[in-house]
Amino acid sequence: MQTLTKEQQTSLVRYINDEFGSNLDFNEFADKMLGAFEDVPGFEILSPSKASRHVRELWRIYHA
């Protein structure tokens, strides 16, 4: 099962924030995050439903 630690979640959100800013809308954020998943071992093969779940979790961190 593909899971992310709190540290990994924070790192991914920080990467998106640093590279693309803090004003992305959800669709822009999701697109960027799905691209970032390509660099996380095991996440490049996530099912669409699992990827969506992770993106929503990370969006809450980004949007906070």
pLDDT digits (tens, 9 = 90+) for 13-58: 999 999 999 999 999 999 999 999 988 888 888 899 999 999 999 9
Question: Which pair of tokens denotes residue 14?
Answer: 């920080």
> Do the beta carbons of residue 35 and residue 14 sit within 8 Å?
no
pTM of the model: 0.90
Integer Cα distance of 37 and 43 in angstroms: 5
Q: Residue 1 above 70 pLDDT? A: no
- Beta-carbon contacts of residue 58 (< 8 Å; ≥ 6 apart): 9, 12, 13, 29, 33
Per-residue confidence (pLDDT) for residue 3, from 0 to 100: 86
